Amino acid sequence: MTEISPLRRRMIEDMTIRNLSPATVLSHAAAKFSRYFGRSPDRLGLEDVRAFQVHLVSTGISWPALNQTVCALRFFYGVTLGHAEIPERIAYARTPGKLPTVLSSDEIVRFLEAVPSLKTRTALTTAYAAGLRASEAVGLKVSDVDSDRGVIRVEHGKGGKDRNVMLSAQLLGILRVYWRLARPPVWLFPRRDGNGPIHVQVLHTACRSARIAAGIDKRVTVHTLRHSFATHVALIFPVAGHGRPRKHSIPDTLSTAAETILEGAVWKKVSWRHGTKGRLTARFAALRIRIADGNPQRILDKGQQHMPGEEAWLVGEWRSNDERKHYLSNLPADTTSKALAAAIKARWVCEQAHQQMKEERGLDHFEGRSWQGLHRHALMTMIAYAFLQHQRLHKAKREGRDTARLNRHCQPSDARS
């Protein structure tokens, strides 16, 4: 084993105590810098760093790899050697923006069918269907698959962070078939001896072989599957049977109009309160949905689609004149149909009063404002109206008392006359 120099060991220790990863990769970049000049890096200055950068560019190094070397040298001089003035003068290279390679749906099918090993094929399918990196896919454990919640737990992902990713019904079925055949004890994709997961190089090698076997001209890596996953996703409007964290919610059906969602719903006759002419009743249908949220994004040939937002109630009202109205409500999931109907109708009454007050109190000049601004002005107007009404009623009551008092004082003299 090659002996590590004291400076390199100190650099690794400095990165380790700061929980920076990977410390050995960056320290290796600093060691290459030292070997290029044949001297200890603490005896090299800023001009030497510039000459080393020119050398790396001439060798055709990629820009991300060059910036990794720059990062290592800035850390070495700024932290390990304590030269605070040097790091700011070591320039990063501008990384050109490139579009990722993406496989079509047909190419994905051909690619995965070309993988002969059941374990490797399932691992690559999981990486594609859940949008995982190669290290995240091989590091999965059997306990990380949560079929009840419909998520896969990823531990120690990029930056050492944990997160949950989606587990679609199709992927869950594939994983169940794989588990019945392979019976992995701890690691979802274990090595042959069972001591730990398979190496990421197994997936990279399988990608190269499957690309040739499938006759795909594009360069295919595990990360290509991750890019394809983000492109092929189709967005959802209704809730897919169970809740998913909004941050990682990737739906599997297209956005749907409210009328279409409620076409197959059960309409029930609901009575929510007594009115002046008896019970108030109407036919209602309610379903839990996930609201289409955010700016629309074009998804291949699916047109403009929205990402899913928070769960809510979609409530449909079928009136006696055959008119149908649709409402959204953020009431809890266990709310009854009667409570939903009462809340919807109470809100409708408030909106009607709002519209009437807008017309009567001259709020038309607020047209074009945001809903928040309009509601703020409406609220202030309602408060002012309530105050003025209170003043009028108080004045009328006071005048009534004054008139009654005056009548009492005047009645005896009228009687004497």
- Domains annotated on the chain, with CATH: 6-89 (1.10.150), 105-232 (1.10.443.10), 256-343 (no CATH), 361-417 (no CATH)
Q: What digits encode the pLDDT tens for the residues 71-81?
A: 888 888 888 88
Q: Is the dihedral of CA 266, 272, 275, 277 positive or negative?
A: positive
Burial profile 138-147: b = 16 or more Cβ within 10 angstroms, e = fewer: bbbbeebbee
- Maximum C-alpha span of the chain: 131
48 sits in the region (left: phi over 0; alpha: psi -120 to 50; else beta) called: alpha
The end-to-end CA distance of the chain, in Å, is 131
* pLDDT recorded at residue 205: 92
H or E stretch including 389?
A: helix 371-416
* pLDDT recorded at residue 305: 55
230 near 129, Cβ under 8 Å?
Answer: no
Answering whether pTM is above 0.85, one says: no
> Which residues, given as ranges, of the chain have pLDDT below 50?
1, 234-253, 299-300, 413-417
Q: What digits encode the pLDDT tens for the residues 10-42?
A: 777 777 777 666 555 566 777 788 888 888 878
* pLDDT recorded at residue 122: 92
* pLDDT recorded at residue 411: 55
